[in-house]
Every structure is written in structure tokens, then in C-alpha cells.
Amino acid sequence: MCGLLGLLTARADAPDLSTAVTSALHCARHRGPDETDEWHDQDVVLGFNRLSIIDLDLSHQPLRYADRYTLLFNGEVYNYLELREQLIAEHGAEFATQGDGEVVVAAYHYWGKDAVRRLRGMFAFLIWDERERVLFGARDPFGIKPLFVLTGPGGTAFSSEKKSLQELAPSLGAGALSLDEPALQHYLLLQYVPEPATLHREIRRIESGTMFTLRPGEQPVTERYFSPVFSATPLAGPTERDRLYRRIEDTLRDSVAKHMRADVTVGAFLSGGIDSTAIAALAKEHNPNLITFTTGFEREGYSEVDVAAESAEAIGVRHVVRTVKPDEMMEALPLIVWYLDDPVADPALVPLWFVAREARQHVKVVLSGEGADELFGGYTIYREPLSLAPFEKVPGSVRGALGQLSRRIPEGVRGKDLLRRGALSLEQRYYGNARIFRDGELAGLLRSYDPRRSHTDITAQWYRQSAGWDPVSRMQHVDLFTWLRGDILVKADKMTMANSLELRVPFLDPEVFAVAADIPLTEKIYGRTDGSGTTKYALRRALENIVPAHVLNRRKLGFPVPIRLWLRDEMYGWADDIITSSQTDHLLDLPAVRRMLAEHRTGPVDHSRRLWTLLVFMLWHGIMVEDRIRPEIPEPAYPVQV
């Protein structure tokens, strides 16, 4: 887990740009505080910040291979030992290190670009081929590790951190970076900026599951190598169901075993839910001295500390708790937003930053349960197609009338939202797991609001790909390309790397996905057809002998944050100050935002998520655009090995 910065020039002037690359790399030093190095020839500059996890003494980067290639590799490949043996057996490959990075570049040397499909792991990498004068790169299937790209007259640069590209932009002749107004509208709809966009029009993201080649002076040629497909068929009977449960358990156990490969201490995050508990329990099989970490708040209903502690005791691990107070959140938020690169208005990322900071005092790597809900059908919203199934039998004209009726029903009246959503098709009503403002609700708030923009700009292509699937599989597919890679994985990467901590996610493994893709609908949402059935049913059955009974059928909270209460009390003045001082009036109707805050304080309307989304953007704008807010960036100071 590290930070890379690679620049392919258009003018063969790479030596003149090496100092600029080194400088831009410095603002990503938290991603790799153990080593920093740079390599260049006439066409390319490759810089690297290393967080040493595997082969601490030898696997330095940029890594040279076969007197031909130079590698920048961020992430981990968990099946590198098996690939290494295969490369030796089939091709007589020779290795100078014991690390996974050299296996990646050797695999490319012998197998070409198809080597990417053999990698089990999280990664973003660049390989410069001196002989062919071509840069090859790829990003992992699910988008666990980030990769940003900026092109200017002077060339194209790739980085693990967007802020590094912002600093490098003048050296590329990219000019002043501009705000991407369509991306801002989508951010306010979804609470994150969907890929491949960022809030700066000139900087984009290499999408998850893609690879590319680039030659000097040309544009990248991109190819998708991973397209997830949910293709389950009904199970014939109890024997097939039992076989499915065993397959889930065996595959997850194998994934955790491979994710435990490290030359430093590995811990685990632990909430009160089944996903993180299963990961911790399986990790304990490989590390009897496993340490787990959780966070919570001193507010009833907003903490899983007690449940997590009970789980830790049941599986026999040492447990560390970090409690977060509202004044700590207010103080830390500008720094957190700086680490984010682009705003993500998920309040759960704040306690994640605090628990990651605590964990880094004990370990260098943590495992976590991200991805289980998307793969195994865990979100409560996935039960909705069952409750709305009767509407599918109603003629379109009648459904339209029901939608009109819902608009005449006062807010807060029982059944209003059911009628509204039942009148809509799945493509119209399901944005993904986050929906802050509905299409149309931004008209009086966002000055650049364009009614032609919609959430369907983002979701339509993923619905087209999933045509003919059952509705829950289609929702999962949308979430893999929106919510998971736009919110869940961004906050996981940014908040842990802000603390020089590597986070690994064993559920997001190609082999685990292959099993999850075979699970039929009845084994995802099991039970009553009114939408109250059990989520992640097959996963729960598969884990019956692994997780404690008190967790097995419990709905997780994750790291919930009491912003609804705090914005009415402890955080009200803080929020008002942010709105008052913000220089975003050309983008937002700030008096309208202030009215929302006042309405929220007096109740009964709950504007907390919308307010948080707006406040995080204002902080981002104050830091990244106005240069008015300047959080103090701490120097990472951690030992090489923990």
C-alpha cells in the first residue's frame, strides 16, 4: 500500500520535470512514509512513496525488472506466491526480491496485458516498457485502490492522490483547473462524485476493472477487463443449498488466509455486524494475537461498541475502542476533507478516520468487511422489490395516476413514499444506496442546476448491462459501480491511508465474487414477500459455525454518526459559521442553506444528511478552491515495521 505518481511527457523532457514530480509527491507522503524515490529517462518520470508491508528490505520502488521495465505498484496481490511459482515453472522466471510487485511486472513480461486477469488483490500500477516506449497500467476489479489522471500539453500524469496532480498541473501546462458543474450536481444527488469524474473537470479517474496503454504524445487506450455478472440459477434442493453454503465458507476462508499475508502485524476493524465479525474470526485462525478495533459515540443508539466488545470476547481477541466526541469531529473535519481529495458526504468516514488513527498505533494493516453487502445482498433496500412487486402488475397508466396521487398526499403521511416509489420503474427510483436530493429538488439551491441532468446519467449504462436480471441483482450491479466505488471504497482508502494504515477487504476478491454471483435471489433475500425478509441469507447460513450467535442475524449499524442531533445542538454554531464564511454563493443559494439549518434546528424536519453534504462541499471549496482554509498537515511519523 503506497502512493504512486507517474508522468509520461509529450516532449521528451522528463529530466526537467523530475523536481516537479518529487515536489508533487510530497503532499501524498502519508500514503508511504517509509521510503520515497524517483526514476526517470527522457520520456517518463516515476515517483513513489512506500508503505512497507511485504519484503521490507528488498522491494523498493520504482522497481526495475529485466533491464527493460520500471514498475510503480500501489496495493497488494494476495496470490503472488502462487503466481511466482507458476512463472518459475512455466518460464524459468528469475526474481531478485520476495515481494508481490516484482511478480506483477514479471507476469506482464511473460503473459502480456492478460496478466491483469490473474491477479487477486487490490492495485493500481504503472509499468514503463523502455524497449517499446509504452506505459501500461491497470486498476483492480472493484476500485479498491485509486488512480487519478491529468493530461496537459506537456504530457499525462497518473497519481494515487488527486492533490498531487493539482500541484503538478502547471508543469504539464494544464492551466487553471476548473470546477466540474455536472459533477457537483451529481455529488449533491449522491453524496459522492461518481467515477470517472472528479470535481475538477481536467482531472479524471481511471475506472475500476480497466487497463490502459499510453505512448508519448498520444491519448490512453483503455480496455475493461472485468465486468461483473450475476448469473444465478435456482437451486434444485437441500443438497445444492448445502453445497453453496460450504462453497461460500471455503472461498471466504481462503480469501482471508491470503489477505493475512504480510511481514508486519495485521489487525481487523470490528463493528457489531456479521461481515467484520466473520473476517475477524477467520483472521484469528492465522494470528492468535489478533487485535480488533472499533469506534462509537456517547449517544444511545449510535454505537456498536458493546456488541463489538461482546464479539471480540466471543472470538477471543484483544479489543481496542476509540470513542469520538462532537468537538473532535468539528476540529478534525477540515483535515479529513483535505485527505479526501474530493468531497464525500458520508458521516461514517469521520469515525473511520479516528479509529484508523488509533489502529495505526498498534498495527500496520487491518482487515475489514467492505463489499459483503453488495456481493451477498445485504442492504435493507434490496428487499424493496418484494414489497413493490404488486405494482409491477398494474398497468402503466394506473401507476402514473398513483404517482400523481402521492404528490397530493402531505409529507409524513403513511404510505406516501410507497405510492411514489411504486409508481416508478426500478431504473427511475433506484439511484444506488445513497440519495441526498432527488432530481428536481436542487432547482432552488444549486445555481447551475440543469434539469437535463439526472441520476440516470450515471446509472443508465449499468442498468443496460443488467437487462433481464432479477431486480435485486440489478440493484447490486448498480451499487458495484456507484455506491461501492464512489463512497465505501473511497472513504476506506482515504481515511486509512491518511494514517499510513493499509486496509484490506477480503470480501472484494474475484474468487469470492464468483461464488456470490451464483447465489439465487431466494438465498439473498429469504422469507416474507412483504419486503421484510432476511438479507444476506446464504452468507449467514455459511457463517453459522464462524460468527457468534448474537451477531449472526443482527442488522449492522456500521459506524453511525449522530449528526441529526448534533446539528441541532453542539454543531449548530459551527455549521452556521461554515455557511456564513463560505465563498460559494455563485454556486449555491447560501440563504436557502441557512434556512435549511434553521428548520432542522427547530424540527420536525430532518435536513441533517443534506446539510452535511452541503457543509462538506463548502469546506472542500474553502480548502481546494478558495485556499482560505488551510488545515495543518501532520508529518507521518511511524516506524517501518509494527
Count of Cβ atoms closer than 10 Å to residue 641 Cβ: 12
In angstroms, the Cα distances linking 194 to 24, 342, 490 are 25, 11, 11
* Nearest-5° Cα angle at 77, 72 to 80: 110
Q: What is the dihedral of CA 269, 275, 281, 284, to 10 degrees?
A: -40
**C-beta of residue 146 within 8 angstroms of C-beta of residue 104:** no
Task: Kindly state the DSSP code that residue 31 receives in the 8-state scheme.
Answer: G
- For the packed helices 100-111 and 80-91, what is the interaxial angle rounded to 10 degrees? 40
194 vs 273: CA distance, rounded Å: 27
Q: Which of 306, 236, 501, 280 lies closest to 372, judged by CA? A: 280
Buried b (16+ CB within 10 A) or exposed e, 536-556: bbbbbbbbeebbbeebeebeb
Q: Which residues are within 8 A (CB) of 354 and not within 5 positions of it... i.e. 6 or more apart?
A: 295, 322, 324, 328, 332
Q: Which of 482, 513, 488 lies closest to 503, judged by CA? A: 488
Q: Omega of the bond prior to 347 within 30 degrees of 0, cis?
A: no
If residue 127 lies in a helix (H) or strand (E), which one and from where to where? Answer: strand 121-129
**C-beta of residue 623 within 8 angstroms of C-beta of residue 338:** yes
325 vs 506: CA distance, rounded Å: 31
**C-beta of residue 324 within 8 angstroms of C-beta of residue 495:** no
42 vs 501: CA distance, rounded Å: 34
Strand order in the sheet with 44-50: 35-40, 44-50, 2-9, 155-159, 148-152, 203-205
Q: Would you state the cell numbers that stand for residue 378, as one nine-digit string?
A: 445485504
What DSSP line would sit under 473-500, residue for residue? HHHHHHHHHTHIIIIIHHHHHHHHHTTT
**Contacts made by residues 114-120, CB under 8 angstroms, sequence distance 24+:** 116/211, 116/225, 117/225, 117/226, 118/79, 118/83, 119/77, 119/79, 119/83, 120/77, 120/78, 120/79, 120/258, 120/509, 120/510, 120/511
Half-sphere exposure of 607 (CA within 13 A, CB side): 21
Active site residue 27: no
Half-sphere exposure of 319 (CA within 13 A, CB side): 22
The three state secondary structure string of 545-592 is CCCCHHHHCCCCCCCCCCHHHHCCCCCHHHHHHHHHHCCCCCCECHHH
Report CA torsion sign: 295, 360, 100, 61: positive
Burial class (CB in 10 A: 0-12, 13-18, 19+), 328: middle
Half-sphere exposure of 204 (CA within 13 A, CB side): 10
Of 1, 2, 63, 150, which residue is the catalytic one? 2
Half-sphere exposure of 367 (CA within 13 A, CB side): 33
Residue 182's SS3 state is helix
Burial class (CB in 10 A: 0-12, 13-18, 19+), 297: buried
* Residues known to be catalytic: 2
